[in-house]
């Protein structure tokens, strides 16, 4: 059994890391990677599942390995910590289904804001890749048995 003081300290530390990491991800999504506001033109979006993923897996299209890696691997890896931290901070999100519903809603909002603010596009593939990252983090949490000490 974990001492109550240790449990509180661990949750407070997790909360601080969560806030800082969330701020970093929001920065990356809206400002980082040389993003610029595109005031002209129409809203950019992709609603066709796996369309963008197929584009980045097509090695004959001239895209750099860096662009491919940032899009495919980055969209997964960046969200792994959320799958780990959210259930630690919010016990009700220990349910895989609740976590999925919650994060899909949040990711949809973030993707729509990128499109509406003209700093990116709404891409259903980003949502799917982000969700894979969340699930990977959740699996790591469940395998680590840290949930028993929360």
Q: What is the pLDDT of residues 59-111, one digit of tens each?
A: 999 999 998 998 999 999 999 999 999 999 999 999 999 999 999 999 999 99
What pLDDT score was predicted for residue 39? 77
Contact 83, 138 (CB under 8 A): yes
Report how far residue 98's alpha carbon sits from residue 108's, in angstroms, rounded to the nearest whole number.
Answer: 16
SS3 at position 39? coil
What pLDDT score was predicted for residue 136? 98
Q: What is the pLDDT of residues 35-53, one digit of tens each?
A: 888 777 899 999 999 999 9
Beta bridge partners of 46: 123
12 φψ region: left (φ > 0), alpha (ψ -120 to 50), beta (else): alpha
Region of poorest pLDDT, from 5-19, 30-44, 77-91, 111-125: 30-44
SS3 at position 123? strand
């Amino acid at each position: 059994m974990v001492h109550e003081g240790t449990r509180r300290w661990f949750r407070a530390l997790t909360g601080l890391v969560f806030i800082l990491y969330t701020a970093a991800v929001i920065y990356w999504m809206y400002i980082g990677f040389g993003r610029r506001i595109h005031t002209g033109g129409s809203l950019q979006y992709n609603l066709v599942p796996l369309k963008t993923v197929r584009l980045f897996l097509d090695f004959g299209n001239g895209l750099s390995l860096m662009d491919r890696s940032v899009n495919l691997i980055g969209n997964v890896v960046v969200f792994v910590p959320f799958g780990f931290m959210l259930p630690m901070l919010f016990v009700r999100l220990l349910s895989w289904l609740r976590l999925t519903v919650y994060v899909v809603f949040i990711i949809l909002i973030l993707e729509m804001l990128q499109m509406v603010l003209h700093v990116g596009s709404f891409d259903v593939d980003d949502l799917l890749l982000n969700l894979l990252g969340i699930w990977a983090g959740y699996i790591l949490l469940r395998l680590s048995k840290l949930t028993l000490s929360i």
